[in-house]
Structure 1
């Protein structure tokens, strides 16, 4: 059998606007950020509502109204400049507008508007190609194929009657092969899939990354942490990388899901948890307003620390944001993966928050409905925590981000973890290698 280990990561290609174009005919996709941010809107949303759904709808309505009012000058300019760009797309979640294939002349006009804070080229988060994969049609054929599920204690939670029922987990990834035998029964029946690029009505996976990730969260056959959860996904990453406009569309979809064609917004179908096995760079604040909105809506954001180790300070954004749960990776011997991103953040905060199994993980693959494969990376450790949160929410449906974070910090395993003093002052927990320790389901 051909054995290969897959380590998947994302890195950010950031490019500032040039002082002048290389050629007068240059065109580029740009993101227009308005002077008026969204934090003030979030602060105006009442704390208490009769239901979570009503709160999210109120939040969405306020953000939509805010973006309509503040984006008027940009919309007016675009309406008079049809020959200077192909199309535009407004995002109410972040109060931004993406202008596609804009001329340099239009870019300069946009930058002169007093209502505009910034006009920057659209960034792309390029995917690293898989390094190693082992495939089979029988997930039990791998040696210790489900060691990760046993190690974190998921079976004992299942035996107490909590398997993720009535909880919804979302993912922003390369797509998911929804017809896979390990995933099809848990795929929510509606408002479950969005592809910003092609508007495809049928879920698919561009690289296999997203299918493997979702299998760890929701797969049956013993590969998933929360086998009775319902899942949804948004294709924020193409085979060539994760384009910021796609990511923004997916962030918005998660706050208020739509049908596959973008119609029929229904905020009552927002997921409880969103898994994000991607990220890059340090100290990047591009998605801070999104994270704030998700937190306001009661959505728990979980991010990978990145496959950027072993150096200190290698944890990636948005995983270096202190308002998200950030996950590093270990192997079956509780050793930290050499690739696992470490803290501290650029602002000195300890990250990750905890670690979970990430090396040699068996899950669903995307080339057929019966294929399983082994992959490694923080992309694999992160969905263990997302699935674990789903189990916790199935037992405690009213749990908050704060209570989830607290219980997962208190119940981690540290005795078997090799607490190197690297990147930290001593070996005490939390530290910048393992956070509070390795995920352990005990509640």
Structure 2
């Protein structure tokens, strides 16, 4: 009897000795205000490096094989590490279809609508390292212009499309065909006359693998804000609005309104690397885009999205990011993730090829080269989310980034075999001069190449898509 009591006592002590997971204080604060909270769960044995070492040891000869191997290795690794935790959570909430979201790229787990009981279970689980509260990243402030109606009898190429010299490339038979651009934003009005034909889910309105809203928010492409519809149009709309009207677009709703939940952005980042059905089932990695446009960001020198960026680059996806709208008079104002290595960071220029007053500028962290290039972002006319034939003017580096995504599509349509680094190099080496204003940042004038205002210059489709 004494021996049995000692064994029980030892087991209790060993359980008590397991350190609790670190819990973000914001979780407790939110639970005081509401009964549920969305959290990110990290794991003690995540060790994504081991999975990536396996992936990089393979000799893969096609993009499809690369995409599939990348997903299989990382997803299998995440499933093993997270098995006990996901089993525990599914037992207490078997009917919650969107309760869990496995982030296979980073080996993390999103738990939505967690109450205090769930938080306590997670923090006491021996596999869990930390619990982090969901954060909202405000959408970049943009300047609104006028609304107008698209005139089908008088189609004109918008000034930004002309500025990057896309129509000249079109004349040579390259409109971005066979290239898919992914958009992470507020969504898109798929019925807009300039977007309907270039949506990959059409004809037929097949939204599986072409549209995703984390946590099952919306089963069909929707935009209640307008930012995403406008951005999508500048990249791949018809009717003279988009740089690559022959490309196809897909979208993930990472921003549910005027702000973007970081957990939704992470979910979208995973989805772009291996798209699923609208209910997050049956992944088909071969349908991943070649380019992802990200007209969002916030904070500085924050590497939180770098795992997604690295994963995209590993499977041949070009990451394009706006750099923010903090004003061109403030050096080192570029925002994350646009200030991070591995992305194409884009600032804005006006119709007279001058740096826009509102755009953020470099350098990036540790005086790194940011932005990489500049593109039209001021007084940009594109699709509106309100009506199928309505246009809307907006200004911001958010509007500049999709012009670069469109030029990247023209490059890949002509040379589909290029790597991410080769596409980025083509954007930089093909960039044309802007109109300098004699401004200096960190002893580098804006008439030097590269500089901290427009990077290597304004993107030029003719030079880059040869």
TM-score (norm 1): 0.89
How far has the Cα of 1:138 moved from its partner? 2.8
Q: Label 1:64 to 1:129 Cα distance change in 2 as closer, same or farther (>3 A).
A: same
> What's the offset of the Cα at 1:410?
1.2
Q: Per the alignment, do residues 48 and 339 of structure 1 end up closer, same or farther by CA in structure 2, a change over 3 Å counting?
A: farther
Match of 1:422 in 2: 441
Segment of structure 1 superposing worse, 360-369 or 85-94: 85-94
| Larger relative contact order (Cα-Cα within 8 Å, sequence gap ≥ 6) | 1
Q: Indicate yes or no: 2:75 matched with 1:54.
A: no
CA RMSD, 1 decimal: 2.7
Deviation digits for residues 353-395 of structure 1 (CA, Å, limit 9, x no counterpart): 0100000011111111100111110110000000000000011
Q: CA deviation at 1:42?
A: 2.4
Report the Cα distance in structure 1 between the residues aligned to 2:241 and 2:151, rounded to whole angstroms.
8
Taking the TM superposition and a 5 Å limit, the aligned residue runs for 1:319-398 are: 319-398=338-417
Distance 1:179 1:153 in 2: 28
> CA separation of 1:25/1:359 partners in 2, compared to 1, >3 Å: closer, same or farther?
closer
CA distance in 2 between counterparts of 1:244 and 1:264 reads 24
CA distance in 2, matches of 1:221, 1:20: 51
Aligned residues: 428
Instruction: Tell me how far 1:27 sits from its aligned partner.
Output: 4.3
For 1:111 and 1:145, how far apart are their aligned partners in 2?
Answer: 56
> How far off is 1:99 after superposition?
2.1
Match of 1:159? Answer: 171
1:43 — aligned with what? Answer: 53
In the alignment, is residue 308 of structure 1 matched against residue 326 of structure 2? Answer: yes
SS of the counterpart of 1:186? Answer: coil
Q: Does 1:250 align with 2:260?
A: no
Distance 1:312 1:104 in 2: 44
Check the 8 A contact 1:308/1:314 in 2, yes or no: yes
Q: Secondary structure at the match of 1:238?
A: coil
Distance 1:81 1:261, change over 3 A: closer
SS of 1:386's equivalent in the other structure is helix
Asked if the contact 1:192/1:233 (under 8 Å) is kept, the reply is yes
Q: Is structure 2 residue 227 aligned with structure 1 residue 209?
A: yes
Q: Which residue of 1 aligns with 2:6?
A: none
Q: 1:400–1:25: structure 2 CA closer, same or farther, 3 Å change rule?
A: closer
Alignment match, 2:194: 182
- Unmatched runs of 5 consecutive residues or more in structure 1: 1-14
Listed one character per residue, the Cα deviations across residues 262-305 of structure 1 (whole Å, up to 9, x for unaligned) are 23321111100000000100122221111111111111110110
Mean Cα deviation higher: 24-33 or 50-59: 24-33
Alignment partner, residue 17 of structure 1: 25
Gap runs ≥5 in structure 2: 1-22
Q: Are 1:283 and 2:297 matched, yes or no?
A: no
Shift in CA distance, 89/257, structure 1 to aligned 2, threshold 3 Å:
closer
Q: Check 1:183–1:359 CA distance in 2 against 1; reply closer, same or farther (3 A cut).
A: same
Q: Deviations over 1:89-139 (max 9, x none)?
A: 322122111223334464355345453332111111123665423111136
Q: Which residue of 2 aligns with 1:30?
A: 39
CA distance in structure 2 between the partners assigned to 1:257 and 1:406 by the alignment: 27
Is the 8 Å Cα contact of residues 424 and 431 (structure 1) preserved in structure 2?
no
| Distance change >3 Å, CA 23–CA 197, structure 1 → 2 | closer
State the TM-score, normalized to the length of structure 2.
0.85
Report which of the two has the higher share of helix: 2
Q: 2:140, 2:296 within 8 Å by CA — same for their partners in 1?
A: no
Aligned to 1:150: 162
